[in-house]
């Protein structure tokens, strides 16, 4: 695997990001955003391949990996990582770029693309639900509502005490690992535990869930339906590739229902043989889908 450079970059948003950078800055830029509970290493297989033809930037988002972990839930509302993203692009002298996001990185990518169509020219989403589709599903799809109850658990301000009680390794084995391939995770486990074990790291990662405005009703609840769920929603105007691993047990295939109405220029690639962490579970398939679509 080709090497990439790790830089620590201070941004005017008040954080310092740990950023993996590879490829020739003269090539078209592509920024990769990871999700929970990972870092730039989500893209460890894609970075060296993409770097042959693209200028590749993969930050640890705020609160993750080697990046700053500002205190307080308010520092993790989705607008903050969007600001980090644009500030990072400015720092590196990048104009328009292709944006890729997985999991929480995909949530930030959807939002950033909606708000900045002149800056983000192409969008690639990997197992990250469109915000409207996701919120609708939490009201209308009992299976997705059930699958998302972990969000409520993560929002509990005492959740870190639970992790301290059982230990990081047990938390790894009983939560994260069950959504991934155990054989692939085994050699990577020490790196995850090292990142998670940094002071304040787990709270910072969980604060992404606490700061989100997404409503997660309990399985038997019948809360009032938000008006905006049935109101017009702005479309994604960029050409968009959505890669979806169909064995994802946290974000179900129902997240693809109705997506074409919200993303008029949509290409959808389904990967039948993988779960949520498909960028490194089936890296060749993900990389191939990205390269073919970009070409």
76 is catalytic: no
pLDDT on residue 145: 97
Residues above pLDDT 90, as percent of the chain: 93
Contact indicator for 175, 36 with CB cutoff of 8 Å: no
- Interatomic CA distance for residues 286 and 126, integer angstroms: 9
- Interatomic CA distance for residues 162 and 11, integer angstroms: 34
ω before 37 within 30° of 0 (cis)? Answer: yes
- 43-67: burial string, b at 16+ Cβ within 10 Å, e else: bbbbbbbbbeebbbbbbbbbbbbbb
For 84, 162, 262, 283, the CA distances from 78, given in Å and listed in that order, are 10, 26, 20, 27
The three-class DSSP label of residue 31 is strand
Give me the mean pLDDT over the 81-108 stretch. 98
**Using the 8-state DSSP alphabet, how is residue 174 labeled?**
I
- Interatomic CA distance for residues 103 and 130, integer angstroms: 11
Q: Is the pLDDT of residue 1 over 50?
A: no
Q: Is the pLDDT of residue 16 over 70?
A: yes
pLDDT on residue 178: 82
pLDDT on residue 144: 97
| Catalytic choice (84, 103, 141, 248) | 103
209 is catalytic: yes
The band of 2, judged by pLDDT with boundaries at 50, 70 and 90, is very low
Q: How do strand 5-10 and strand 16-22 relate by DSSP bridges? A: antiparallel
Beta strands in the chain (DSSP E): 5-10, 16-22, 29-33, 55-59, 97-102, 120-126, 240-245, 266-271
Q: Which of these ranges, 2-11, 55-64, 85-94, 207-216, has the smallest mean pLDDT?
A: 2-11
- 187-196: burial string, b at 16+ Cβ within 10 Å, e else: eeeeebeebb
**Using the 8-state DSSP alphabet, how is residue 176 labeled?**
I
The mean of the pLDDT values for the chain is 96
| Catalytic choice (34, 40, 102, 276) | 276
pLDDT digits (tens, 9 = 90+) for 204-246: 999 999 999 999 999 999 889 999 999 999 999 999 999 999 9
| Catalytic choice (76, 84, 209, 248) | 209
The band of 138, judged by pLDDT with boundaries at 50, 70 and 90, is very high
**pTM greater than 0.75 (yes/no):** yes
Q: Can you tell me which residue has the tokens 């997985």?
A: 102
The band of 121, judged by pLDDT with boundaries at 50, 70 and 90, is very high
């Amino acid at each position: 695997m080709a090497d990439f450079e790790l830089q620590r970059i201070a941004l005017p948003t008040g954080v310092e990001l740990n950023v993996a950078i590879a490829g020739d800055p003269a090539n078209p830029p592509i920024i990769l955003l990871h999700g929970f509970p990972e870092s730039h290493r989500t893209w460890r297989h894609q970075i060296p391949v993409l770097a042959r033809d693209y200028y590749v930037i993969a930050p640890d988002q705020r609160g993750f990996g080697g990046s700053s972990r500002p205190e307080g839930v308010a520092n993790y509302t989705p607008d903050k990582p969007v600001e980090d993203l644009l500030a990072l692009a400015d720092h590196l002298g990048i104009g328009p770029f292709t944006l890729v996001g997985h999991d929480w990185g995909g949530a930030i990518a959807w939002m950033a693309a909606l708000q900045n169509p002149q800056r983000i020219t192409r969008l690639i989403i990997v197992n990250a639900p469109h915000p409207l589709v996701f919120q609708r599903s939490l009201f209308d799809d009992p299976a997705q509502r059930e699958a998302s109850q972990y969000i409520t658990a993560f929002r509990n301000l005492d959740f870190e005490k639970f992790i301290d009680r059982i230990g990081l390794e047990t938390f790894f084995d009983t939560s994260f690992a069950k959504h991934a391939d155990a054989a692939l995770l085994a050699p990577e486990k020490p790196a995850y535990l090292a990142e998670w074990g940094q002071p304040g790291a787990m709270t910072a990662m969980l604060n992404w869930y606490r700061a989100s405005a997404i409503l997660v009703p309990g399985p038997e609840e019948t809360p009032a339906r938000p008006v905006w769920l049935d109101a017009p929603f702005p479309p994604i105007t960029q050409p968009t590739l959505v890669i979806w691993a169909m064995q994802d047990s946290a974000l179900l295939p129902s997240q693809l229902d109705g997506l074409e109405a919200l993303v008029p220029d949509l290409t959808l690639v389904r990967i039948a043989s993988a779960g949520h962490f498909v960028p490194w579970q089936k890296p060749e398939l993900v990389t191939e889908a990205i390269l073919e679509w970009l070409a």
